[in-house]
Amino acid sequence: MSMMQYQRRPNILFIMSDDHAAQAISAYGSKINKTPNIDRLAREGVKAENCFCTNSICTPSRASILTGQYSHKNGVKTLNDKLAPESRSVAKYLQGNQYQTAMIGKWHLGTEPQGFDFWRILPGQGAYYDPVFLEQGGKKQYQGYCTDLITDFTLDWLKGADRERPFFLMCHHKAPHRAWDPGPKYRDFLKDVLVAEPRSLHEAVRHGVKMRVGEDMTERDLKQKPPAGLSGKGLREWAYQVYIKDYLRCVQSVDDSVGRILDYLDQSGQRDNTLVVYTSDQGFFLGEHGLYDKRLMYEEALRMPFLARYPQEIPAGSVNRDLLLNVDFAHTFLDFAGLGRDQYMDGESFRTNLQGRTVDNWRKSMYYRYWMHDDPDHHVPGHYGVRTAEHKLICFPMNGVKWELYDLKQDPEELRNVYGEPRYADVVKRLGKELIRLQHKYGDEPAHF
């Protein structure tokens, strides 16, 4: 391949935050904050409305993004699993095909990164302040705020990159992960504001999960003891304000980071030949259903923000509504790099979808499975399900099988389980068949957890 051909292959800059819910991005219609820099990607590129993770939790989603595989295929089903170093991954493919590759920030896959020319990662969850980073050949503690440091390292790497070859750079923020420690710039942000509450803040807890805003938050989460005498509804309202403000403060620093990185690309003349993606490893509950955290197959945790800019082929200000999955990212990036598909990957390339043309026979349903059954901190039961554009069917198979069905057109907030309602009997039958079809297709065996 000639040098000219190398130059035509796009750079891929993948920015991923941790636990950033789409409903805390103004381009997605946030009612509680503004993210002007992330919104630039929506204005100058495409916003995917229906991008979903296949297992809504950090480590498994990261493994699915890299390998293009469902959790049961790549072996990373829970937070306790590690990505096998010999796993096939998009980074290895790109590195093996002339791409310069780098991984900066939160990794959280238990083993050393493979397929990267350069990596500098947080150990485990990492720290918000003065974090230690691991890199080839050692570790070092840096002074400062994690989001700013990850941005600095990303810009440093970009400035030193070889302009004759394309790059694949993963910039992974720790923020806005629990325990939501704001950066110095935003400590007082929203201080005197009352942030709007979601409608379902006081909903009765589902499935006995321990992710309630208020009663299931620690003093570390809240950075203080709750006022004496507060309980139930009052405690939840108070804790929601503390929680959401810290969360949004963390988001604000991530938004600044995106702005700095986009500015650098634009100023260095790399705007047109760089695919920039912003996403999060999963969504998050911001008080909806009374919850924080993720894991459950409900919309807020299932949906990943996904925004992409590549002026050469993605129409500015466009919106994509196809069902896109985290297992698709690897193939999509290989496709942008002009490389073929890997038969071991479960996902499909959605490069064409991002151009505004839905691929023929594109999926009409997606399969989800949460494997980390009843962990001691969150008590979320294992479950699996199927989502289409209109409906979602979820099975909780443990302790007596329980089913839920949501009519997403009538009830986008999933406030009413219509599983037992006679008028939905046909939908239940159809989606039940589809669930089994998808389990067969992906080789999953859902009998037990």
Instruction: Report the interface residues with Ca ion, using CB under 5 A.
Output: 18-19, 58, 281
Q: Tokens at residue 144, please?
A: 């400062």
Residue 91 to residues 42, 86, 268, Cα–Cα distance (Å)? 26, 12, 24
Q: How far is the CB of 191 from Ca ion (least distance, A)?
A: 27
Closest CA to 278 of 319, 307, 249: 307
Q: How many CA atoms lie within 13 A of 46 on its CB side?
A: 27
**3 contact partners, CB below 8 Å, separation of at least 6:** 164
Q: How far is the CB of 334 from Ca ion (least distance, A)?
A: 24
Q: How far is the CB of 126 from Ca ion (least distance, A)?
A: 12
Q: How far is the CB of 24 from Ca ion (least distance, A)?
A: 14
**Residue nearer to Ca ion on the CB measure, 176 or 183:** 176
Q: How far is the CB of 96 from Ca ion (least distance, A)?
A: 28
**Residue nearer to Ca ion on the CB measure, 177 or 391:** 177
**Residue nearer to Ca ion on the CB measure, 19 or 81:** 19
**Residue nearer to Ca ion on the CB measure, 281 or 328:** 281
CB atoms within 10 A of CB 194: 9
Q: Tokens at residue 234, please?
A: 């009052």
Q: How far is the CB of 63 from Ca ion (least distance, A)?
A: 12
Residue 182 to residues 39, 52, 154, Cα–Cα distance (Å)? 21, 27, 20
Closest CA to 283 of 66, 15, 24, 14: 24
Closest CA to 27 of 14, 18, 15, 36: 36
**Residue nearer to Ca ion on the CB measure, 17 or 274:** 17
**Residue nearer to Ca ion on the CB measure, 281 or 288:** 281
Q: How many CA atoms lie within 13 A of 244 on its CB side?
A: 27
Q: How far is the CB of 200 from Ca ion (least distance, A)?
A: 22
Q: How far is the CB of 396 from Ca ion (least distance, A)?
A: 22
Q: How far is the CB of 253 from Ca ion (least distance, A)?
A: 16
**26 contact partners, CB below 8 Å, separation of at least 6:** 33, 34, 35, 36, 38, 39
389 φ/ψ angles, rounded to the nearest 5 degrees? -65, -30
**Residue nearer to Ca ion on the CB measure, 60 or 166:** 60
Instruction: Please identify the residue of the shown chain whose CB is closest to the bound Ca ion.
Output: 58
**Residue nearer to Ca ion on the CB measure, 38 or 58:** 58
**Residue nearer to Ca ion on the CB measure, 27 or 58:** 58
**Residue nearer to Ca ion on the CB measure, 177 or 309:** 177
Adjacency order of strands within the sheet including 318-320: 138-141, 132-135, 118-122, 100-106, 167-172, 11-17, 274-280, 306-309, 46-48, 318-320
**Residue nearer to Ca ion on the CB measure, 65 or 94:** 65
CB atoms within 10 A of CB 403: 17
Closest CA to 206 of 16, 369, 414, 355: 414
Q: Tokens at residue 216, please?
A: 């299931």
Q: Quick one: CA torsion of 188, 189, 193, 197, rounded to 10 degrees?
A: -120
47 φ/ψ angles, rounded to the nearest 5 degrees? -115, 125
Q: How far is the CB of 114 from Ca ion (least distance, A)?
A: 21
Residue 225 to residues 166, 235, 240, Cα–Cα distance (Å)? 51, 11, 14
Give, for 318, the enclosing helix (H) or strand (E). strand 318-320
Residues 68/331, Cβ–Cβ less than 8 Å: yes
Q: How far is the CB of 246 from Ca ion (least distance, A)?
A: 16
